[in-house]
């Protein structure tokens, strides 16, 4: 697949860019934050994205989706990343949505996915239990009960966990913490007894939650896929979500970089634009290199999903490591190069750095993915 | 497209019939590619035969006009020729700075007499060229060159010296930047001269590098007489030609870019790390080295993917993208990092200079590590590349 955008893809990009510029510019994120919005994102915006076909863009048409690929979803994600738009794209479309799409039975898919496509349902994936992404470090237990299972444990950093209609909880039906075998995936409704949700206000103004499950009862039909074989669904779902997140990060990266270059040209000190100072020119040029490398690997990773290539897992790790480090660099450089105003809340560039750090630590940072890539590559 | 298909079939047949068997084998350890030249001795007659046959069809310079001995092919046809040669494992019959650098500028700026005299000899590999550009006092600031060419009526008298002249000790002729005007601003006093390396007054001294011997030379000119007809383009107008030639050189190096990023044993880094640093449960024992190996392999993958994207965008009609300006910078710095990692991995076995106690691969790695230090300096230093990106791509002000 060509890494150049087709005409249709270019059209999607300009449409998406126009849409987010009008309906979800950076000041919308600021408003959500400052008003302590209960949802943390605009449901009206999400509904509009549903109408545009973006919430279900990769879902098959028979499930109400647009039947397009990750190359297209990546374009939408990137444009959302440019304006730091708060949407359930990562939690619902990428994470939990892919778990249901890849592992759900026909009934589950038919029940859940069409409403995801219509942006009428928000989902969350409850996976992480300690302070770092570690998919198999699951201690939450799922014990067999009369009608199904009883879930007990704690989850943290659950994206959109406080507003999700349903939460896919990763729990252990067998094995010890750290084992790949023995994981199971359960659909838990938000109203489930024994489930307490604590919304966490994150530094980037987006949404996450801590969950405590105390004997939460779910029916047998809540199990997604085979008991104990949850990793077989979780792994590819995580790869897709990771690549999708990298695509969103690419937008944040590009926008932060472009705003910084503009500032270097506009800001004058000592009678000249500060962009004429060679030290800043060289740092800007190095950032440019990182942006270009990042763009290439994200584009390839998105297409690899669509082509069903066997190297999707490696590409997910390469893309996430790259974007994590590049956005870390550019986020920090952007603030530094904006000088005094860069550390003010009034200036928007600080929001980009905050988002950079949250995205970096979501679904594994550079170090995590280098280790994963090494394991996948046999060293 | 129909034309290309029948062309491909015809070329494939012709190559199979005309490429001698030894020219379809990879280069042996003691063999070099054919650089041609006046003094070239052909130990293998098939090498001469292959060159002659390809030159007769102009395929050593596929897109050059037929009237100068070139193949007269379109770039699409030239691509097909290259593909068929690769498919049939045919060696390039001739490699030369005349083909990649001088020829294109002669076609653009030379007069008819110069084209007729020099181009056919380049096509046939009869004359080997070297490039007289940099001087000890003019590297990054090439326009500051001082080698002087004084007007003596029917000839120029050249005095000065050049440095980093690759293969000057093997070359027959030199294309040389000289100063013909010392009062004009430095860019406006430069001319482009051609002359025979056997002209009295020309001496050559090879340059040894920190890695050992190299093809680089110093070239000295003492009262060298150059006929006026060897001036290419306008007097004092040589800087424009110099820049055009550098662009061709950059495209040539860029074309080798894929080699830089992808090959060269990038995949053996992890195998070497296991061998020299030990393993634990089948994995590289040292987690820091494992992380650095992963980083390098990821860098390499992102780089080759960027080269591919650049190609895809060019094919889609976008023209050479901004990304291509980073290839030399990133490729060379990545290569240097790779060798530093290799040295770290091989440890004291990477510190041998010669002789007993080290195997060939180890000694080779050491020399390559040393030679790689030049990669970020030659062909425009990394610092100059960053300046170029900042100015031309990002539009940052002077």
* CB-nearest partner of A318 from B283, B302, B389: B302
Quick one: how far is CA A179 from the chain centroid?
25
Task: Identify the segments of chain A with pLDDT beneath 70.
Answer: none
Residue ranges of chain B that CATH labels 1.10.540: 2-94
Same domain, A78 and A174: no
Q: State the pLDDT at residue B259.
A: 44
Dump pLDDT digits (tens) for A50-85.
999 999 999 999 999 999 999 999 999 999 999 999
| Residue B319 forms contact with A (CB below 8 Å) | no
A273 and A147 in a common domain? no
pLDDT tens track for B348-371:
999 999 999 999 999 999 999 999
- Residue A145 falls within a domain, yes or no? yes
Q: How far apart, in Å, are the Cα atoms of A312 and each of A136, A169, A316? A: 19, 24, 6
Q: Is B263 on the interface with A (CB under 8 A)?
A: no
pLDDT at B255: 57
Do A374 and B293 make contact, defined as CB atoms within 8 angstroms?
yes
Chain A residues near any Cβ of chain B (below 8 Å): 2-4, 261, 264-265, 272-273, 275-276, 278, 280-282, 284-286, 288-289, 292-297, 299-300, 318, 321-322, 367, 370-371, 373-375, 377-379
Q: Are residues A153 and A135 in the same domain?
A: yes
| A98 occurs within a structural domain | yes
Which chain B residue has its CA at the smallest distance from A295's CA? Answer: B306
Beta strands per DSSP E along B33-182: 129-132, 148-151, 155-162, 173-179
Domain total of chain A: 3
Contact B196, B151 (CB under 8 A): no
Q: pLDDT by residue (tens digit) across B30-65?
A: 888 999 999 999 999 999 999 999 999 999 999 999
Is the pTM here over 0.80, yes or no?
yes
Complex prediction ipTM: 0.96
CATH of the domain at A94: 1.10.540.10
Do A255 and A352 belong together in one domain?
yes
Query: Do A16 and A69 lie in a common domain?
Result: yes
The reply to whether A2 falls in a domain is: no
A335 and A244 in a common domain: yes
Burial of A34 (0-12, 13-18, 19+ CB in 10 A): exposed
SS3 of B218, please?
Answer: strand
Residues A46 and A146 in one domain: no
CATH 2.40.110.10 domain span(s) along chain B: 129-236
List the CATH number of the domain containing A143.
2.40.110.10
Q: Which domain holds residue A96?
A: 7-121
Residue at which a domain ends, from A183, A204, A228: A228
Band the pLDDT of B252: cuts 50, 70, 90.
low
pLDDT single digits (tens) B164-183: 999 999 999 999 999 999 99
B87 burial (CB, 10 Å; 0-12 / 13-18 / 19+) is exposed
Is A167 in the same domain as A276?
Answer: no
A–B CB contacts, 8 A cutoff, strictly below = 130
Helix, strand and coil content of chain A, in percent to the nearest 5, comes to 55, 15, 30
Instruction: Locate A339 and state its tokens.
Output: 């000088």
In chain A, the residue whose alpha carbon lies closest to the alpha carbon of B283 is A379
Parallel, antiparallel, or unpaired for β A123-126 and A166-172? parallel
Which residue from B minimizes the CA distance to A4?
B313
CA–CA distance, B174 with B195 (Å, rounded to integer): 6
A279 and A224 in a common domain: no
Class (C level, CATH) for B256-393:
mainly alpha
Distance of alpha carbon A201 from its chain centroid, rounded?
A: 17
Look up the CATH number of domain B129-236: 2.40.110.10
B73-94 mean pLDDT = 94
* Structure tokens belonging to residue B362: 């180890």
Whether domain B2-94 has CATH 1.10.540: the reply is: yes
| Closest residue in B to A314 (Cα–Cα) | B298
């Amino acid at each position: 697949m060509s890494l150049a955008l087709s005409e249709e893809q270019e059209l999607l990009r300009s449409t998406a860019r126009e849409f987010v510029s009008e309906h979800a510019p950076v000041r919308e994120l600021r408003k959500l934050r400052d008003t302590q919005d209960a949802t943390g994102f605009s449901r009206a915006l999400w509904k509009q994205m549903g109408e545009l076909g973006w919430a279900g863009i990769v879902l098959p048409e028979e499930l109400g989706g647009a039947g397009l690929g990750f190359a297209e979803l990546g374009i939408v994600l990137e444009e959302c990343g440019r304006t730091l738009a708060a949407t359930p794209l990562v939690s619902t479309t990428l994470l939990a949505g892919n778990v249901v799409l890849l592992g759900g039975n026909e009934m589950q898919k038919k029940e859940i996915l069409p409403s995801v496509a219509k942006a009428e349902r928000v989902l969350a994936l409850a996976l992480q239990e300690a302070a770092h992404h570690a998919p198999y470090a699951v201690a939450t237990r799922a014990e067999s009960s009369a009608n199904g299972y009883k879930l007990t444990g704690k989850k943290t950093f659950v994206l959109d966990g406080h507003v999700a209609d349903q939460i896919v909880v990763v729990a252990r039906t067998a094995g010890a913490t750290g084992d790949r075998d023995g994981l199971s995936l359960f659909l838990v409704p938000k109203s489930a007894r024994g489930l307490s949700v604590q919304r966490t206000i994150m530094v980037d103004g987006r949404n996450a939650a801590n969950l405590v499950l105390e004997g939460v009862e779910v029916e047998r039909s809540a199990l997604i896929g085979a008991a104990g074989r949850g990793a077989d669904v979780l792994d590819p779902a995580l790869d897709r979500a990771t690549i999708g997140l990298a695509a969103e990060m690419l937008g944040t990266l590009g926008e932060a970089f472009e705003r910084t270059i503009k500032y270097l040209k506009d800001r004058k000190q000592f009678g000249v634009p500060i962009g004429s100072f060679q030290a800043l020119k060289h740092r800007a040029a190095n950032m440019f290199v990182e942006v270009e490398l990042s763009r290439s690997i994200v584009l390839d990773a998105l297409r690899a999903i669509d082509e069903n290539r066997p190297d999707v897992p490696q590409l997910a790790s390469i893309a996430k490591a790259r974007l994590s480090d590049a956005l870390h660099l550019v986020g920090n450089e952007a603030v530094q190069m904006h000088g005094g105003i860069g550390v003010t809340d009034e200036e928007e560039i600080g929001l980009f750095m905050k988002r950079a750090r949250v995205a970096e630590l979501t679904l594994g940072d550079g170090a995590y993915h280098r280790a994963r890539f090494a394991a996948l590559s046999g060293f | 497209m129909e034309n290309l298909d029948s062309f491909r079939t015809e070329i494939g047949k012709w190559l199979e019939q005309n490429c001698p068997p030894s020219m379809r084998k990879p280069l042996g350890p003691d063999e070099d590619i054919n650089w041609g030249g006046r003094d070239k001795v052909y130990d293998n007659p098939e090498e001469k035969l292959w060159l002659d046959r390809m030159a007769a069809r102009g395929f050593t310079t596929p897109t050059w006009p037929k009237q100068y001995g070139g193949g007269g092919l379109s770039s699409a046809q030239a691509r097909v020729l290259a593909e068929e040669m690769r498919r049939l494992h045919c060696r390039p019959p001739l490699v030369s700075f005349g083909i990649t650098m001088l020829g294109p500028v002669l076609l653009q700026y030379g007069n008819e007499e110069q084209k007729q005299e020099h181009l056919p000899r380049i096509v046939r590999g009869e004359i080997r060229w070297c490039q007289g550009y940099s001087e000890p006092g003019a590297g990054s600031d090439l326009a500051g060159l001082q080698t002087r060419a004084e007007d003596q009526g029917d000839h120029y008298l050249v005095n000065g010296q050049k440095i980093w002249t690759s293969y000057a000790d093997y070359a027959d002729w030199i294309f040389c930047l000289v100063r013909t005007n010392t009062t004009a601003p430095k860019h406006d006093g430069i001319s482009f001269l051609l002359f025979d390396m056997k002209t009295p007054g020309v001496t050559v001294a090879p340059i040894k590098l920190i890695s050992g011997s190299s093809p680089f030379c110093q070239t000295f000119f003492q009262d060298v007489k150059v006929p006026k007809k060897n001036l290419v383009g306008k007097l004092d107008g040589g800087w424009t030609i110099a820049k055009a030639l550098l662009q061709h050189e950059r495209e040539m190096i860029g074309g080798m870019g894929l080699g830089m990023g992808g090959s060269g044993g990038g995949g053996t880094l992890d195998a070497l790390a296991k061998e020299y640093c030990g393993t634990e449960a089948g994995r590289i024992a040292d987690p820091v080295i494992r992380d650095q190996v992963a980083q390098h392999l990821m860098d390499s993958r992102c780089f080759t993917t960027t080269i591919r994207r650049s190609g895809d965008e060019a094919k889609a009609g976008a023209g050479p993208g901004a990304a291509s300006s980073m290839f030399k910078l990133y490729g060379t710095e990545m290569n240097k990092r790779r060798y530093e990692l290799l040295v770290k991995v091989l440890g004291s076995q990477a510190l041998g200079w010669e002789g007993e106690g080290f195997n060939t691969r180890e000694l080779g790695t050491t020399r390559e590590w040393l030679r790689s230090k030049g990669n970020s300096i030659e062909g425009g230093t990394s610092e100059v590349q960053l300046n170029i990106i900042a100015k031309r791509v990002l539009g940052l002000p002077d």
